[in-house]
Amino acid sequence: QVQLKETGPDLVQLTQTLSITCTVSGFSLTTYNVHWVRQPPGKGLEWMGAMWNGGGTDYNSAFKSRLSISRDTSKSQVFLKMNSLQTDDTAKYFCARHTMGISFDYWGQGVMVTVSS
């Protein structure tokens, strides 16, 4: 069955770099797109960016040049890397599968990341 699972640190120091891995199963990264969405505690959802099935990427300009998304199709993994972390980057980070015409039909459980000074 389709599954996505995020793994990453619980705590990141201020100004440091966040790295999260989304490991997927039950589908191919060359067929489906994978997106990253985050949610600060008690707040709404923010779309961060996408890894398209063809290997291209798309980013929310709100993250300027801080954000990078890549993948390793042989390992069925998508990677999020974001630098210069600030306290307002404290959030739960989700990866989600995107089926064209259907939207984000499967989500990972998310990983809660706290940025500490």
**Where do contacts with another protein occur on this chain (CB under 8 A)?**
35, 44-47, 50, 58, 60-62, 94, 96, 101-105, 107-110
Decide whether 85 or 110 has the Cβ nearer to another protein.
Answer: 110
CA separation for the pair 114, 56 (Å, rounded): 29
Cβ neighbors of 72 (< 8 A, separation 6 or more) are: 79
Nearest distance, CB of residue 13 and another protein, angstroms:
26
Please give the span between the terminal C-alpha atoms of the chain, in angstroms, as a whole number. 40
CB nearer another protein, residue 29 or residue 50: 50
CB of 117 to another protein, least distance (A): 26
Measured from the CB of residue 14, what is the shortest distance to another protein in angstroms? Answer: 25
Q: Whose Cβ is closer to another protein: residue 110's or residue 115's?
A: 110
Percentages (nearest 5) of helix, strand, coil residues in the chain:
10, 55, 40
Residue with tokens 């089926």: 99
Least separation in angstroms between CB 3 and another protein: 12
Residue closer to another protein (CB basis): 79 or 93: 93
Contact 50, 33 (CB under 8 A): yes
